[in-house]
Amino acid sequence: MSDDKKQILYSGMQATNTLTLGNYLGALKNWVNLHNDYECFFGVMDLHSLTVRQVPADFRKNARSLFALYVAAGLDPVDNCIYFQSHVSAHAQLAWILNCFTYMGELSRMTQFKDKSAKHEDNVNAGLFTYPVLMAADILLYQTDVVPVGKDQKQHLEITRDIAERFNNIYGDVFVIPEPYFGKSGARVMSLQEPEKKMSKSDENANATVLLLDDRDTIIRKFKRAVTDSDTEIRYDPEAKPGVSNLIEIYSAITGKNYDEVSAEFAGKGYGDFKIAVGETVADELAPIQKRYEEIMSDKALLDGWIGANDARAAKAAFKTLGKVHRKVGLTDLIR
């Protein structure tokens, strides 16, 4: 299949803190190789991160760090267009236009807005409210066919489709209506301390979360301390044994073994041995990524070169759609 026939796939993550093992096994790891079947765009969603107050120096570093982690995890910056959302001004421009086609009522129903405004009571800003409209702009600018998103982002993809359909009904076929991507689903990684909750980078308990950049000893220590149960059996049963099941899920996602194979491998062994084995497997998986990450971060010219080239590539696609939108709604032509 030639490149121009490929469907377009779009996704991204917020540039906030460092990634967790959940982000990696649930999303990033599954993005590698998608470029064989799709034309892929992966954004560093730094404008979205501004909905929560950031420390400027840390934020700047985190955004570059996320770009480097994408690449270190295996997303080739030539085969994939990896770029900064804030560097392509068409995102903010289209978001404004789409704001005028989005209703207060539908935004008020977004569960992420309700959760985040409860969590950041002192800063319920308008950006938090219109977060899904910017996300719709991200997706629609690239005439995206498919979007791999986790469960927590499904509602945002639905509102994106609603906004696009509403716009198309008025102006004709301007936007491709994006579909969720149902590829190989990623693992859902739970907290190591409260396995009923998902592993989250904003967790206050450091032992609950494995970071992609944690060193080997830290990773193994966190797994040794992982909460399990008072039983001894290594069996996948998320209802009755959430802690052990989470460890099985992690081990399975990395080794490719199914749950029964994992149970059989550790039959008769105690939780202690199992936790160490999972910790070592995770550390082995992350070691080459961390090494590659350090190499990339220490080569400013290399990183800047990829950033510049891909920002331009993204802008070309994005401004083509924005130009069309301008013409359709009656804004004067963009002269670039």
* Nearest distance in Å: CB 10, ligand ATP: 12
Q: Could you say which residues in the range 26-45 bind ligand ATP, by CB under 6 A?
A: 26-27
Count of positions (residues) in the chain: 336
Nearer to ligand LTN, 19 or 220 (CB): 19
Would you count residue 62 as binding ligand ATP (CB under 6 A)?
no
Let me know how many helices (H) and strands (E) the chain has, helices first: 14, 5
Nearer to ligand LTN, 43 or 279 (CB): 43
Question: By C-alpha distance, which of 249, 254, 255, 256 is closest to 234?
Answer: 249
Question: By C-alpha distance, which of 40, 32, 42 is closest to 7?
Answer: 40
Q: Return the biggest CA–CA distance within the chain.
A: 72
Check: CB of residue 69 under 8 Å from CB of residue 82.
no
Nearer to ligand LTN, 10 or 274 (CB): 10
201 is catalytic: yes
* Nearest distance in Å: CB 300, ligand ATP: 26
User: Binding residue for ligand ATP (CB under 6 A) from 189, 219, 262, 278?
Assistant: 189
User: Binding residue for ligand ATP (CB under 6 A) from 128, 199, 250, 315?
Assistant: 199
Choose the binding region for ligand ATP from 72-80, 147-155, 164-172, 306-314 (rule: CB under 6 A). Answer: 147-155
* Nearest distance in Å: CB 120, ligand ATP: 11
Name the token pair of 58.
């840390």
User: Binding residue for ligand ATP (CB under 6 A) from 149, 176, 219, 307?
Assistant: 149
Would you count residue 22 as binding ligand ATP (CB under 6 A)?
yes
Would you count residue 120 as binding ligand ATP (CB under 6 A)?
no
Nearer to ligand ATP, 44 or 307 (CB): 44
- Pairing state between β 81-84 and 38-45: parallel
Which string of DSSP letters, residue by residue, matches 81-98?
EEEEGGG-THHHHHHHHH
Check: CB of residue 235 under 8 Å from CB of residue 244.
yes
Name the token pair of 62.
């985190």
116 is catalytic: yes
Say which of 6, 61, 201, 257 is annotated catalytic. 201
**What is the DSSP code (8-state) at residue 10?**
E
Would you count residue 201 as binding ligand ATP (CB under 6 A)?
yes
Name the token pair of 84.
């900064």
- Give contact residues for ligand LTN (rule: CB under 6 A): 10-14, 45, 48, 135, 138-139, 147, 149, 153
Nearer to ligand LTN, 14 or 62 (CB): 14
198 is catalytic: yes
Which string of DSSP letters, residue by residue, matches 279-318?
HHHHHHHHHHHHHHHHHHHT-HHHHHHHHHHHHHHHHHHH
**What is the DSSP code (8-state) at residue 152?**
G
State how far the Cα of 185 lies from the Cα of 275, in Å rounded to an integer.
24
Say which of 5, 6, 29, 116 is annotated catalytic. 116
* Nearest distance in Å: CB 116, ligand LTN: 10
| Site for ligand ATP, rule CB under 6 A | 13-14, 16, 20, 22-23, 26-27, 149-150, 152, 186, 188-189, 198-202
Residues labelled as active-site residues: 116, 198, 201
